Amino acid sequence: MARPRFDKLDPARRKAILEVAAEEFAEHGFEGASYNRILERAGFSKGVAYYYFEGKEDLYATVLELTLEGLLGQVAEWTPPRDAEDFWSQLRRTYVTLLDFLMSDERSGRLLHGMSQARMNPKLQGAWLRFEAPLMGWLQRVLADGRKVAAVRTDVPEGLLLAAMMGMGQATDFWLLEQWERHGERGLRRGAEQAFSLFMDLAADRPRA
Amino acid sequence: MARPRFDKLDPARRKAILEVAAEEFAEHGFEGASYNRILERAGFSKGVAYYYFEGKEDLYATVLELTLEGLLGQVAEWTPPRDAEDFWSQLRRTYVTLLDFLMSDERSGRLLHGMSQARMNPKLQGAWLRFEAPLMGWLQRVLADGRKVAAVRTDVPEGLLLAAMMGMGQATDFWLLEQWERHGERGLRRGAEQAFSLFMDLAADRPRA
DNA sequence: GCATCTCTAGACCAGTGGTCCAACCATCGG
DNA sequence: CCGATGGTTGGACCACTGGTCTAGAGATGC
């Protein structure tokens, strides 16, 4: 994740390449982005590039990490819920905050959107692992809290529920984007409510036959 | 999807390249696979390759189509359900049949697994569109049947539910693969039962507050 | 026997990410 | 002030990617 020297690089140049890279990766995704083009636009020679980064994947991971930090800074306030109701309302608020952030910062949205593709790209598994842990960790803690207050089901393995929720989140993300494009912000918010209700039905603890 | 002439090509050569390509794509996915390597192994020159296929993407789509045909041949028996119970039991049977097929034919499994990545690859959207229609169409018809017998919820847009189910299916697919590797066939079957129960909780019609 | 059309081989192209090395430059010890 | 050391830098070069193009071989029809 960016060689240590990178911290000592002139801040202007540091910012320059991160900016250019963010733009390029946001627009074309990881595969589609051209490392050479990024370097050229940022005024980096090959030698310099590989002096500060291990390679394309490394630069990508660095950009993503910064983006994720920005996101988590907005979202992270989570307190142990009092009861099931409190749990779901906190989770809903978090979900909405997240959407607000993604709407307000299109580039970050695209980058994070691309990240979910990265998850399945064999070339990027190294990079993905660094994000999986904190992200999954957060969700895991939240779900654990939910279980404590009997808000989240316990009849199914944790890993399965986690995977299902992540997958659904990713897929509905696409769908929400469509709603946004077609019906504007109102459409997005309505869609988000509906998507969230799906999450609840999927994860909620409830009496079974 | 393979130029028309491809049908007239000597069946042995036809089979040869499809075989080699399936192997390569199954092992490395679309991006990771090398078109040049496929051609070399199949004994195809560049000229021949571009005479019969439009390019890498075209060959990939052709291979996927054949694989999907094989899958649908196994799974497709679907009759309009009598009632909700019949609906869910048919769907469960279909799900299990699908898993059986994927277990029995690892290469097809990998290819289809890769296809779901393709869905989000901008380069492959052309190819994806050809599969999306029939696949989504099938699922759409099934869900419509489910609604008729009050098995499937109607309080949420069809497209959202569709997207959510596809995403969840894809994600749990990964999880199931893990179960299979770690706990063998028994683990897979147990996992599949649990995954299916998630599908039901997600999509089932039920009284709401 | 000539012309037309199908088919084939492979040279070639621009672009990819990555490696490597010679040289530049600042700092430091003497 | 000199030379050495080690952190920087530019850019030639590499193997490889998917894709284009052309010259000609081989078959077929008239």
In chain B, domain spans = 4-59, 64-203
- Per-residue pLDDT, averaged over B18-37, amounts to 96
Q: Is A138 exposed, middle or buried (0-12, 13-18, 19+ CB in 10 A)?
A: middle
Which chain B residues in 131-170 sit with Cβ < 7 A of strand D?
none
Q: What is the pLDDT of residues B79-130, one digit of tens each?
A: 999 999 999 999 999 999 988 888 889 999 999 888 887 777 878 888 888 8
For residue B64 the two structure tokens come to: 């996927």
Q: How far apart are CA B168 and CA A169, in angstroms?
A: 8
Q: Which of B1, B19, B17, B27 is nearest to B114 (CA)?
A: B27
Distance CA B108, CA B18 (A): 13
Instruction: Give the 3-state secondary structure of A90-147.
Output: HHHHHHHHHHHHHHHCHHHHHHHHHHHHHCCCHHHHHHHHHHHHHHHHHHHHHHHHHH
What's the pLDDT score for residue B131? Answer: 85
Q: Which amino acid is at A10?
A: D
Instruction: Determine the pLDDT at residue B111.
Output: 93
Non-local CB neighbours of A55 within 8 Å, separated by 6+ positions: A35
Token pair for B21: 């390509």
On the 0-12 / 13-18 / 19+ scale of CB atoms within 10 A, B168 is: buried
Q: Which helix (H) or strand (E) holds A65?
A: helix A56-75
Q: How far is B172 from chain A (nearest CA, A)?
A: 6
The CATH architecture of the domain made up of B64-203 is Orthogonal Bundle (1.10)
**Do the beta carbons of residue B53 and residue B3 sit within 8 Å?**
yes
**Alpha carbons A96 and A188: distance in angstroms, whole number:** 10
Per-chain mean pLDDT for chain B: 92
Query: pLDDT tens digits, chain A, 209 residues: what are they?
Result: 889 999 999 999 999 999 999 999 999 999 999 999 999 999 999 999 999 999 999 999 999 999 998 888 888 788 999 999 999 999 999 999 988 888 889 999 999 988 887 777 878 888 888 888 888 888 999 999 999 999 999 999 999 999 999 999 989 988 998 999 999 999 999 999 999 999 999 999 988 65
pLDDT tens-digit readout, B38-57: 999 999 999 999 999 999 99
**pLDDT at residue B209 in the model:** 59
Token pair 């079957």: residue: B189
What topology does CATH give the domain A4-59? Arc Repressor Mutant, subunit A (1.10.10)
Residues 6+ apart with CB under 8 A from A16: A42, A43
According to DSSP, the residues that pair with B204 across neighbouring strands are B152
End-to-end CA distance of chain B: give it in Å, rounded. 50
Which of chain A's residues 23-42 bind strand C, using a 7 Å CB cutoff? 33-37
pLDDT at B71 over 90: no
Question: B117: which chain A residues are within 8 Å (Cβ-Cβ)?
Answer: 117, 120-121
Cα separation, B124 vs B119, in Å, equals: 7
Residue B174 · residue A132 · CB < 8 Å = no
Distance from C-alpha of A133 to C-alpha of A135, rounded to nearest angstrom: 6
Q: Give the helix/strand (H/E) hosting B22.
A: helix B11-32
> Quick check: B111 and B22 in contact, CB under 8 A?
yes
pLDDT at B77 over 80: yes
Are the C-beta atoms of A185 and A103 separated by less than 8 Å? yes
What tokens appear for B38 in the block? 């496929």
> Distance in angstroms, CA of B19 to C1' of C10?
24
User: How many Å apart are B8 CA and C23 C1'?
Assistant: 61
pLDDT(B208) > 80: no
Token couple for A155: 């009849």
CB B171, CB A166: distance < 8 Å: yes
Q: How far apart are CA B91 and CA B196, in angstroms?
A: 9
Q: Map residue B188 onto helix, strand or coil.
A: helix
Mean pLDDT for the stretch of residues B8-37: 96
pLDDT tens figures, B162-193: 999 999 998 998 899 899 999 999 999 999 99
CB spacing of B171 vs A168 below 8 angstroms: yes
Query: D10 C1' – B28 CA distance, angstroms?
Result: 35
Query: Can you tell me which residue has the tokens 């494009």?
Result: A181
The nucleotide whose C1' lies nearest the CA of A33 is: C16
Phi and psi at residue A44, to the nearest 5°? -105, 135
Cβ atoms of B153 and B203 closer than 8 Å: yes
